[in-house]
Structure 1
């Protein structure tokens, strides 16, 4: 491992602090736990991620695996009491620095995953995959390859759609959309915005994630991310300009979407805003189906992700995943790999909360498993018909696994977007300054 300083989640890590990384170079199929040879005691491996038990149903999931694998004891460790992915990943970085046991680890976005690959935290999986004759792009719906190697397999697969409060939709006498554009979305928001002041309910809500500042770019088939795979800027184009202009008009002119300033100053949680009925629509990822099955409070219907142009393909959506891999410091790499392979194929349906990235998974069975895992008093509010029709029309864009420094570029982009959305600079300066800073980061990381 390179003897250089790596900034990870605000934590300065040295390669010597990543205990054992440079010392392990084990062949696929072997375990480095020599002390277990000839022992009947099961090997204990840890799965570490940010999910709470309520969010992830992990105890039942690992129990299902343990029952059919008596030589292994899988234990789940949640890294965040609130189920916050960023908090959880920071704690995992600390574990990597301290040398604590790490076996199976997960990251919530391609940019977070790429950064940890660059830090040397993850073990290459190529030898294991070759031994099992697994061709990732044939087996899974997304291909998380980094510089010609695999360091993770896709856990839950994320596709986006729009959730709508059916009661507010009916009140506005609007049909459930089955194909629409962002202009249509903006019109729906106007018709479903009601009231003033503290009692006001908005037609739309955009969170402070970068996804909500790339609305029309998110369903671009070839380049759905703010940088290209080589790290060069991909924001000075009509789709990004349209996205920022649309958001600014809805938040600051038409006032049909919750203003950005309120989102960040009040530290709003997008779930709470939707559950409280403060917004009629929420563009979000399919992980919310499992959450609705446990928390739904009113009739909710689903619509495909809106299009930039009416001529575009219906249902084209950005794609994401939880990236599950093996810690480079693990002493039980084969056992960890076996669990990763099981979880990313059969295990997600067993878990009953998320959608699978495995091509052999059946979407109807996947939905039924999620609804079965929910609470009947909450599941009844989920409109299964519109959910299934939306999921079946969805078509994923290409997955962009960005350079290891992409999180720095995302931060600089969002800094400029914030200045625009709070009225401190115009759109042209926002695009120009963000482009310059993104290119500077690329240059400094060569």
Structure 2
């Protein structure tokens, strides 16, 4: 596709998204959906990747109905406006939304998706919420390889998107949103402590900030930070803090399924967590998180903690919502580095893996939608920063304006720090999850609990975690 045409499409859709974004808001901090509208008109006039590839049914008189299975709610994804825009620009194509969870619960949605597949329902487009779910369903044959469609389009998936979705050398999904992790900071607390908003910092700096931001004692104590995990084998990002800011080998398992727990950055993460909780007493105790079932949103927005490390899905809530109001100034900083000389920007990244169902009878039409949705469609939707690389750093500000306009108090958000952070963020190399990854996560979580609750030291924790992980790997060898 011609670069100027792409730039024109981006600019046009962003402008219409901005106009549409001013129209309303909802509880989740997003734009109110409209049944169709100006964004669709712009998309139909632009030379999009999908229209450039050419849907064989578009304009031919043949009507094709595609079923899209998703966990995303209307509030989170603006489906009504987004799908209407696509249908307007692709005559003869209708997209039927199959909503798998009214709450946007990805676990509930995954179970219903598997049930639908087992029941041989018509499936054309599938959305997976995480690498493990994506890899698992590819291994079950639910998603079709997209390499031939990509080759026909004449682009390279690994350079067109910020997130690499290859599995075993093939592409089975294209990435939608780009949600890097970052640090949300209570700017009023920073100002009170005489601390600047960080633009390039290390975990040692983070620990120093947390210590200086901690204030008071007892039930009214304000902690410098809150870590929302690990718990129950989930939220394991919080046990990989000094691993996942690396270009490669950012997980507990390597790409070949072997253990990565001898990585010194795993030990450094454990040392950081113990130091901040036990010595500095600057992070909310793990025991409190578990026993009181604490939530990162309320910990931050109620000002019980001055900093939280979390994913940028919070962009739609950072300016406050009806459920969780914002009553102070908030800023954003990049995910910390290990050492000052390390490359900046590497961070955990979440995305939507948008795939073509292997059983679809309309794979070309389904692929055309997937390609459009993961490019211009993200701008029409107006809910997230896209993974599409054609959206450059200087185009982030209007996208963020659109997202923040759906929150209650966007004026309290330091937009520059948010845009600057998103601009420098990039994903580590994707590691295809092993089928036994959940078992490994649970074992490591259990060993960490023994450590943080005072029942074993760091070296014993690492030794036990390594042994249990190796046992799991060995028992899964075929």
Give the superposition deviation at 1:143: 1.9
1:332 to 359, 362, 375: 362
Change over 3 Å in CA distance of 1:344–1:305 after alignment to 2: same
Q: How many residues align?
A: 415
Equivalent residue number for residue 331 of structure 2: 301
TM-score, normalized by length of structure 1?
Answer: 0.86
Question: Does the CA-based 8 Å contact 2:318-2:407 persist in structure 1?
Answer: no
Give the superposition deviation at 1:333: 2.2
Deviation per CA, 1:62-82, whole angstroms, max 9, x where unpaired? 121121112111133332333
Question: How far apart in 2 are the matches of 1:427 and 1:247?
Answer: 11
Question: How far apart in 2 are the matches of 1:79 and 1:230?
Answer: 33
Question: Does the CA-based 8 Å contact 1:349-1:366 persist in structure 2?
Answer: no
The within-5 A match list for 1:102-121 is: 102-121=123-142
Question: Does the CA-based 8 Å contact 1:290-1:370 persist in structure 2?
Answer: no
RMSD in angstroms over aligned alpha carbons? 2.6
Equivalent residue number for residue 173 of structure 1: 194
Equivalent residue number for residue 206 of structure 2: 185
TM-score, normalized by length of structure 2?
Answer: 0.80
Most deviating of 140-149 and 42-51: 42-51
Equivalent residue number for residue 184 of structure 2: 163
Question: How far apart in 1 are the matches of 2:329 and 2:69?
Answer: 34
Change over 3 Å in CA distance of 1:359–1:329 after alignment to 2: same
Return 5+ residue gaps in structure 1 as ranges. Answer: 1-27
Equivalent residue number for residue 256 of structure 1: 282
Question: How far apart in 1 are the matches of 2:120 and 2:216?
Answer: 55
Residue 362 (str. 1) matches residue 407 (str. 2): no
Change over 3 Å in CA distance of 1:182–1:376 after alignment to 2: closer
Most deviating of 40-49 and 100-109: 40-49
The within-5 A match list for 1:33-182 is: 42-182=63-203
Change over 3 Å in CA distance of 1:107–1:267 after alignment to 2: farther
Change over 3 Å in CA distance of 1:78–1:187 after alignment to 2: farther
Equivalent residue number for residue 270 of structure 2: 244
Secondary structure of the corresponding residue to residue 156 of structure 1: coil
Question: How far apart in 2 are the matches of 1:127 and 1:65?
Answer: 23
Question: How far apart in 2 are the matches of 1:82 and 1:422?
Answer: 34
Equivalent residue number for residue 315 of structure 2: 289
Give the superposition deviation at 1:376: 6.1
Secondary structure of the corresponding residue to residue 332 of structure 2: strand
Question: How far apart in 2 are the matches of 1:440 and 1:76?
Answer: 43
The within-5 A match list for 1:194-205 is: 194-205=215-226
Most deviating of 409-418 and 379-388: 409-418
Question: How far apart in 1 are the matches of 2:161 and 2:459?
Answer: 40
Change over 3 Å in CA distance of 1:330–1:433 after alignment to 2: farther
Give the superposition deviation at 1:436: 2.3
2:340 to 310, 313, 320: 310
Equivalent residue number for residue 11 of structure 1: none
Question: How far apart in 2 are the matches of 1:366 and 1:224?
Answer: 27
Give the superposition deviation at 1:406: 2.5
Give the superposition deviation at 1:234: 0.9
Change over 3 Å in CA distance of 1:190–1:326 after alignment to 2: same
Equivalent residue number for residue 455 of structure 2: 424
Change over 3 Å in CA distance of 1:265–1:149 after alignment to 2: same
Deviation per CA, 1:8-49, whole angstroms, max 9, x where unpaired? xxxxxxxxxxxxxxxxxxxx9999xxxx99995742223222
1:275 to 288, 301, 323: 301
Give the superposition deviation at 1:112: 2.2
Equivalent residue number for residue 321 of structure 1: 351
Secondary structure of the corresponding residue to residue 301 of structure 1: strand
